[in-house]
Amino acid sequence: MTTRRVRARPGEGPLLREEILAAAEALLIESGTEDALTLRAVARRAGVTTPSVYLHFADKEALLEAVCLRVWDQLDSDMNAAAARARDPFRALGMAGIAYARFALSHPVQYRVLMMRSPATTAALACHRRMVESVTACVEAGALRGDPEKLALSLWAAVHGCVSLLIAQPGFPWPDDLDAFIEETVAMAGFGAALSSRIPRRTPWTTPVLTERLDALAAGLPTR
Amino acid sequence: MTTRRVRARPGEGPLLREEILAAAEALLIESGTEDALTLRAVARRAGVTTPSVYLHFADKEALLEAVCLRVWDQLDSDMNAAAARARDPFRALGMAGIAYARFALSHPVQYRVLMMRSPATTAALACHRRMVESVTACVEAGALRGDPEKLALSLWAAVHGCVSLLIAQPGFPWPDDLDAFIEETVAMAGFGAALSSRIPRRTPWTTPVLTERLDALAAGLPTR
DNA sequence: ACATCAGGTTGACACTGTCATCCTGACGGC
DNA sequence: GCCGTCAGGATGACAGTGTCAACCTGATGT
């Protein structure tokens, strides 16, 4: 214990909490993995003994969750800002999806901890709620049809799967242009929701008919 | 160490490897989480001392990966069997996607370990390769257009995201009918790939036009 | 001056992955 | 029948982990 932290004065207790969070966040970002987040390393970095962490966090898991939730507020404002750049609700939905992916890739450790572990449901609920808002606007505008809750779930799953694989499988031979891949996945999900929500399940469509209609539809769209 | 395992005779060395794998798999399934897989628990269950595990596995991570890879062979045959139930390639693609989701939900621990951790890329490669095959058939049949590799990635991402969220967020308020949710997500991805692959990026489509065309397309499809 | 209590520290416990070292029993050669 | 050899393990130990009960300490209100 080389440099010991000066003791907080009474009433300034929560001050240490912030220092611990900052130390843990730095450790997480520098190492790139949550395995490096040991209580001893965090305490040493905060200039405090190990058990002092328990004065502000119930256990290691609570600390880890608190650290990762720290960046989560930015997600909502990111998605809002991105959606605001398009007045059309359906395009705004796509913008929000791309913003979601960018956010996840900007905070890979936090995203993995909160979304790929057992119960970090509060963060997941925030994601879903935000999605439902954008989807509801699209339903009201007529771009999508059906239950916004379920539509949002499927759309969310698609973009989550994209960033989830990118984060968890860095050794995979991903395409060179990741931005393009993300955009294409978001587009697939959006167009898919628009089309699929118009086709009742158990509809006896056949692939040749579908192919012909899709070709006709695409041919009728304006080209740049 | 109550019941000690009878020692294997020379030449029967790999026999213990299977017993360790079986013990580890049982531990994984009974507990439902990989945290319960400690080397001591595995060794005790196999009737062997702890360091003996190192005779057959480099370290704990290698054991965990080997255990989870044990069920992975079934995925390929599951998807093949499901795809074979439809002669149409595009419907077969959907069947394969649903089979993928069912497999993942049947082996949640193994799926999480192999797909939501840092480098288990061999399993991911197997998934992707299998997807590319189904997608290639759809491209040749005209249902999808574009690069099968990228199309497969986006489709895979969608279904992976779906099961990934279901596995990692069990506390989330999911819809009652999970099968329907999975089918809808797969349908969204499939229809989305079909439509999106026909619309070049940066196409200046507008939502009202798109909505009108989609409604017309859906109205022209046969009803049951 | 004194009791009080927030804000820590000390020391320990059980448990983990991992390793160097040693033992043991079956086999082949003579 | 005997012995060396080597695969197949067992022993004991080490450093590191999360966690907790017990203790200390210094500022503050009175």
Q: Do B188 and A128 touch (CB under 8 A)?
A: no
Q: Indicate if A118 and A60 belong to the same structural domain.
A: no
- Domain presence at residue A163: yes
* pLDDT the model gives residue B3: 55
**Residue A201 in tokens:** 């399940």
Region label for A8, one of left (φ > 0), alpha (ψ between -120 and 50) or beta (otherwise): beta
Task: Clarify whether residues B164 and B57 are in a common domain.
Answer: no
Domain count, chain B: 2
Query: Given this model, what pLDDT does residue A33 score?
Result: 96
Dihedral pair phi/psi, residue B195, rounded to 5°: -75, -50
Question: Does any domain span residue B79?
Answer: yes
pLDDT at A31: 96
Q: Say yes or no: Cβ of B201 under 7 A from any atom of strand C.
A: no
Task: Name the phi and psi angles at A69, rounded to 5.
Answer: -70, -15
pLDDT, residue B70, reads 95
In-domain check, residue B176:
yes
Q: What residue has token string 């118009």? A: A198
From residues 42-101 of A, which are strand C contacts by CB within 7 A? 48-52, 55
In a domain, B109, yes or no: yes
Q: Which domain CATH number covers A34?
A: 1.10.10.60
Instruction: List, as one string, the DSSP characters of chain A.
Output: --SPPPPPPTT-THHHHHHHHHHHHHHHHHHSSGGG--HHHHHHHHTS-GGGGGGT-SSHHHHHHHHHHTTHHHHHHHHHHHHHT-SSHHHHHHHHHHHHHHHHHHSHHHHHHHHSSS--HHHHHHHHHHHHHHHHHHHHHTSS-S-HHHHHHHHHHHHHHHHHHHHH-TTS---S-HHHHHHHHHHHHHHHHHHHTTS-TT----HHHHHHHHHHHHHHSPP-
For residues B30 and B108, membership in a common domain is answered with: no
Nucleotides in chain D with any atom closer than 7 Å to protein CB = 7-13, 16-22, 26-28
Residues A167 and A110 in one domain: yes
| Nearest by Cα to B165 from B174, B152, B153, B177 | B174
**Max Cα separation, chain B?**
76
Are A118 and B33 inside 8 Å of each other by CB?
yes
How many Cβ atoms sit within 10 Å of the Cβ of residue B97? Answer: 27
Which of A29, A47, A69 is at the close of a domain? A69
Q: How far is B68 from chain A (nearest CA, A)?
A: 16
User: Same domain for B56 and B136?
Assistant: no
Nucleotide C27: closest residue by CA–C1': B10
Whether A60 and A83 share a structural domain: no
Å from A166 to nearest chain B CA? 9
Rounded Cα distance between B126 and A28, Å, is 31
Same domain, A194 and A83: yes
Residue A209 lies in a domain: no
Q: Are residues A114 and A188 in the same domain?
A: yes
Q: Consecutive 10-residue runs of chain B (224 residues): their mean pLDDT?
A: 59 81 97 97 95 96 96 94 96 97 98 89 89 96 97 98 97 96 98 97 93 94 82
What is the CATH number for A92? 1.10.357
The dihedral built from the CA positions of residue A183, A187, A189 and A190, taken in this order, carries a sign that is: positive
CB within 8 Å of chain B, chain A residues 2-21:
none
Q: Quote the CA–CA distance of A118 and A184 in Å, as a whole number.
A: 29
**Which of residues 147 through 166 in chain B touch A, CB cutoff 8 A?**
149-150, 153-162, 164-165
Per-residue pLDDT of chain A (224 residues; tens, 9 = 90+): 345 677 676 666 678 999 999 999 999 999 999 999 999 999 999 999 999 999 999 999 999 999 999 999 999 999 999 999 999 999 999 999 999 999 999 999 999 999 998 777 888 998 899 999 999 999 999 999 999 999 999 999 999 999 999 999 999 999 999 999 999 999 999 999 999 999 999 899 999 999 999 999 999 888 87
Query: Do the domain assignments include residue B22?
Result: yes
Q: What is the pLDDT of residue B42?
A: 97
Q: Are residues A80 and A187 in the same domain?
A: yes
Which range of residues forms the domain containing residue A44?
14-69
CB contact under 8 A, A211 and B158: no
Give the nucleotide with minimal C1' distance to the Cα of A50.
C9
Which of the residues A35, A59, A166, A185 would you substitute to probe the B interface, choosing the one with the greatest number of B C-beta atoms within 10 Å? A185
Cβ of A178 under 8 Å from any chain B Cβ? no
Residue B11, classified by CB atoms within 10 Å of its CB into exposed (0-12), middle (13-18) or buried (19+), is exposed
For residue B1, the model assigns a pLDDT of 37
Q: Closest nucleotide to residue A9 (Cα to C1')? A: D27
Q: Which of B196, B206, B213, B224 to mutate to test the interface with A (most CBs of A within 10 A)?
A: B196
- The enclosing H or E element of B153 equals helix B148-168
Measure the CA–CA gap between A203 and A199, rounded to whole angstroms: 7
Reported as a single tens digit per residue, the pLDDT across A117-142 is 877 788 899 889 999 999 999 999 99
User: Does A193 sit within 8 Å of B168, measured CB to CB?
Assistant: no
Closest residue in chain B to residue A126, using alpha carbons only: B172
Decide if A110 is inside a domain.
yes
Residue B54, domain member (yes or no): yes
By C-alpha distance, the chain B residue nearest A185 is B154
A81 and A152 in a common domain: yes
Residue A120 is predicted with a pLDDT of 77
User: A91 to chain B: which residues are within 8 Å by CB?
Assistant: 207
Residue numbers of B between 69 and 88 with CB closer than 8 Å to A: 88
CA–CA distance from A80 to each of A92, A98, A182, A212, B156 (Å)?
9, 12, 19, 38, 28
Residues in Cβ contact with B48 at an 8 Å cutoff, skipping those fewer than 6 apart: B5, B16, B19, B20
Shared domain check, B93 and B194: yes
Looking at the structure, tell me whether residues A107 and A169 fall in a common domain: yes
